Structure 1
Amino acid sequence: MSDGPDNLILVYLRRIDEKVDRLTSVVGDLGRRVTSLETKVTLLHGDFASQSERIDRIDLRLGRIERRLDIAPA
């Protein structure tokens, strides 16, 4: 009689173990994807900083041009 319930418990434990293995794989994949996204966001922040720097330089140049031409900024 004890073979039946023990086997049933083993079957359920194996199913649980398989599901845990799949979840572990999925979580590992999600971790890699999040790391990739963090890297891309960091690169975007660098790009934004670079563009801001370029815009500041253009603004300075435009100010010098306006002063040379005696054009009042609007």
Structure 2
Amino acid sequence: MTREPESLILEYLRRLDAGMQLLREDVGDLKRRLTGVEEGLAGVNRRLDRLDGRVERIERRLDLAEA
């Protein structure tokens, strides 16, 4: 009788291990995707900073901004 419960416990442990592996893969995928989003956002911020500088120069040339 000890064989059945031991076998059942091992089966549950294998299922848990398989489930944990899937979670690890999903988290790794999410980390990679989030890194891509962060890099893209950094690029957008750099472009906005450059545009801000250009707008300031245009406003100064047109005397629309305070000196």
Common fold: TM-score over 0.5: yes
Name the counterpart of 1:34.
34
- TM-score w.r.t. length of structure 2: 0.90
Alpha-carbon distance in 2 for matches of 1:3, 1:37: 51
**Would you say 1:7 and 2:7 are equivalent positions?**
yes
Distance (Å, rounded) in 1 between the aligned partners of 2:3 and 2:55: 77
**Which whole-Å CA distance do the structure 2 matches of 1:61 and 1:32 have between them?**
44
Unaligned runs of 5+ in 2: none
Structure 1: distance between partners of 2:32 and 2:25: 11
Aligned length: 64
Residue matched to 1:23 = 23
Q: Which runs of 5+ in 1 are unaligned?
A: 67-74
Higher RCO (CA 8 Å, separation ≥ 6 residues) = 2
| Runs of 4+ residues over 4 Å off in structure 1 | none
| 2:67 matches 1:55 | no
